Amino acid sequence: MGRRVGHDGEVGDFVIRVLAVVAAFFLLPAVPAVAAADDDRMEKLFTFRDARITESSGLAVSPTHDGVYYTHNDSSATPTFYAVDGQGRTRATFQLRGAQARDWEAMAASRDPATGRGVLWFADIGDNLDGAWPDVSVYKVMEPATLADATLPAVRYRFRYADGARNAEGLMVHPKTGRLYVVSKEFAGSVYAAPKRLRADRVNVLRKVAGAPLMATDAAYAPDGSSYIVRTYFSATLFRPDGQTIAKVTMPELEQAESIAYTPDGKSLLTGTEGARSPVYRVPIPQDSTPTPTPTPSPAKAEDDKESAAAEDSAGGGGLTGTDILIWLAAAAAAIGVITFLARRTR
């Protein structure tokens, strides 16, 4: 969710969540397709048992260790992540050397195409004030070969958005190209592509390449690169690599849905929530909503900055239309009235 800053931060966060609920209620009928997963096939995979895991905000499946999952807390005094088995037991705890934990919101996993080693990515991209930080960071860590407590070296990549600062909670990596994408958490969210080649010695520019659903809390690429999923507080939406919507996927009811990942076979999704002893659910993707792989690599067909900028102009996907915005404004006005009334009553 992002670190709250005092009373004003708590109120602001509360306002955002209430507005998101109201706006989602009004905008829900506009979604063209709903892929309702079989409720009987949704299952609680495990519950985090470690008392230190209280704000699980990122989730990834290990690329090289069978039956191992990684998670991290939303914000912490130290940059820490956990390796957990299929029963929710912590197998190892890792610290990142040369990293900060300002507002970690997401993680992703990939493979190094040259060596086959697992690569873990940790996104310090939360910005509840939409511009509090001059740049945001993503840390690259080589997956440890042994699951034992350790301190691991991290490479820091700094980023800024081409169109101004954003709050974001979604990070995904294309499995074939290795390209990073950040998904902003806004009423009219966006998918941002990182440069094809990342530079650790300067700030990298993120450029908008597609729209994203309202208040996205996480995102992940399918293992075969044929689709990607964006999670919100209420549901999840499947997209083709060009940003075209495939369908919405029904999610289990969670207290504060924060994370999503694909299973290694690409047939199911894993989703989690914040809180002590929080659960992780497995949700099968309806077969008719699973696209076949295509050679088109990503939401950003562009490979350089000019092409990425052109993609921004033509991007559609999950953004809001003019009609949606008018509906949202009406919903927001009603919600603000309710919030103002409650605020006065609770002074």
- Residue (of 314, 318, 316, 312) closest to 207 by Cα position: 312
pLDDT digits (tens, 9 = 90+) for 117-128: 999 999 999 998
pTM for the full model? 0.80
Domain for residue 347, yes or no? Answer: no
Q: Does residue 254 contact residue 225 with C-beta atoms inside 8 Å? A: no
| pLDDT for 340 beyond 70 | no
CATH of the domain at 168: 2.120.10
Domain for residue 297, yes or no? Answer: yes
**Which residues lie below 8 Å from residue 7, measured CB to CB, with a gap of 6+?**
none
**Is residue 18 classed as helix, strand or coil in its secondary structure?**
helix
For position 332, what pLDDT does the model report?
A: 54
> How many structural domains is the chain composed of?
1
Domain for residue 324, yes or no? Answer: no
The CA–CA distances, whole Å, from 270 to 66, 75, 234, 263, 273 equal 15, 21, 15, 7, 11
Residue 210 lies in domain = 34-319
Domain for residue 339, yes or no? Answer: no
pLDDT digits (tens, 9 = 90+) for 229-283: 999 999 999 999 999 999 999 999 998 899 999 999 999 999 999 999 999 999 9
Domain for residue 325, yes or no? Answer: no
Domain for residue 22, yes or no? Answer: no
Q: What is the mean pLDDT of the chain?
A: 82
For position 183, what pLDDT does the model report?
A: 98
Domain for residue 2, yes or no? Answer: no
Domain for residue 12, yes or no? Answer: no
- Rounded to whole angstroms, how far apart are CA atoms 194 and 254? 31
Q: Does residue 259 contact residue 57 with C-beta atoms inside 8 Å? A: yes
